[in-house]
Amino acid sequence: MHILVGMPEEGSRGGSSNCEPPFVRELCRLGLEVEEQIYTYADTTAGLSTRVVRVMRTVKNFRKKLRSGSFDVVHLNTSFDTKALIRDFFTLSLIRRNDTKIFLKFHGSDANLLASKNWVWKFISRRLFAQAAGIGVLSSEERANFLRAGVLEQKLFVVCNVVNANTSARKHNTAPFSSSSVPQLLFIGRFIPEKGLADVIRACKLVLDRGVMFKLICLGDGPARRDAEREVARLDLHDYVQFTGYIPEEKAAAFYASGTVLVFPTYHFEGFPMTIFNAAAAGLPIITTRIRAAADYLQEPDNCLWATPEMPAMLADKIIDLLQNAAMRETMSQNNRRLAARFSRERVALDYVKTYEAIVEADEVPQRLRSKIPEDRKPRILQGRSAE
């Protein structure tokens, strides 16, 4: 099988830039012929003219690839938001792909955009869905959203991301804390309001007021950082909160390993929050929200405690409950390591191979008409599969 994968540009940040390269390497190890082409770019602040130029360059590069090779599937890593939707619509409308099947993997999806009544968005969405032979979403919640938007059930696949194993030894044991030890709370991710950092900071103030000590480590950067720093100052938490700035994933592994609890009350529309599953790989107890892939794979209290978005008082209660229960933290730690093993590159790649096979073997022509099609007019992929 010959796959063309649209990849993030080197230097990009975010989940796809970390989980897609090991996935592609594993596909190659399994014997698939895989070629890569840049589809998303590291500079996310570019203006309209730059974005237009990039789309046209992307179209040109993909057309060149498709002319030079006989691909079974074009796998595009994207997301379902306004900017990506426009890019995907024009890209798929302009590239010439012959019989090659298009698989769109959405690394997150905006449910409000999917349900929009605006005729422009509805037209673009429906055209995009019609052009795709397969659509990968990262949670059952998203699958239900796409079904409600009119996507054909046979086109939808619930997929997952590769989660790299964290080989760092756990530095924080799960015994009760002594007067000389301070638990480390972790918040890791892009600093945007929907990730819930402001809620974590406000919850930490309530935790401190109840006499429970901690150190909150905030890894990441983004547009909400200034507001977060102002909130720390307003609540007089300078001695209890540390901002590290952006940390590459390979260095962030040590923070996951040394942390006590991940506190991540996100309500962002990403499908498979890599922060949560990287924490699981490190054996880190978790407090998060019951949405998207977290709701599919995590159970309370085996893997996490559930919090409600934008409710700092509830979040504070959960933090205190977990910090004061060493046995629960130990159970979560062991269970989360086992959970993360389900997302190894070997397992994930095998699942994708099955998805690709389902896409290329899809019977798009009614069986009663197939015998009437001359052999040289049948889809190239079907001929190739029958010859194997």
> Each residue of 108-138: pLDDT tens digit?
999 999 999 999 999 999 999 999 999 999 9
Residues 348-370 have a mean pLDDT of 75
Per-residue confidence (pLDDT) for residue 278, from 0 to 100: 96
Label residue 177 by pLDDT band (50, 70, 90).
low
For 99-110, write each residue's pLDDT tens digit: 899 999 999 999
pLDDT for residue 52 is more than 90: yes
State the DSSP H helix or E strand holding residue 319, giving kind and residue range, or none if neither: helix 312-323
Distance CA 185, CA 214 (A): 7
Write the class of the CATH domain 184-342.
alpha beta
CA–CA separation, 318 vs 316, rounded Å? 5
Average pLDDT, the chain: 90
Q: Where are the domains of the chain?
A: 2-162+344-387, 184-342
Instruction: Let me know if the fold of 2-162+344-387 is the same as that of 184-342.
Output: yes
Contact present, 281 and 302 (Cβ < 8 Å): no
Confidence at 228, pLDDT banded by 50, 70, 90: very high
pLDDT band (50, 70, 90) for residue 379 = very low
Render 359-383 in DSSP notation, one character per residue: HHT---S-HHHHTTS-GGGS-HHHH
Average pLDDT rounded to a whole number, residues 141-166:
96
The pLDDT value recorded for residue 317 is: 98
CATH class of 2-162+344-387: alpha beta
What letter would DSSP give residue 99?
T
Q: Which residue has the tokens 């796959």?
A: 3
Nearest to 281 by CA among 250, 307, 257, 252: 257
pLDDT tens string 303-324: 999 999 999 999 999 999 999 9
Confidence of residue 383 (pLDDT cuts 50, 70, 90): very low
pTM: 0.89
Contact residues for 114 (Cβ-Cβ < 8 A; gap 6+): 80, 125, 145, 146, 148, 149
pLDDT at 169: 63
Output 176 or 86, whichever has higher pLDDT. Answer: 86
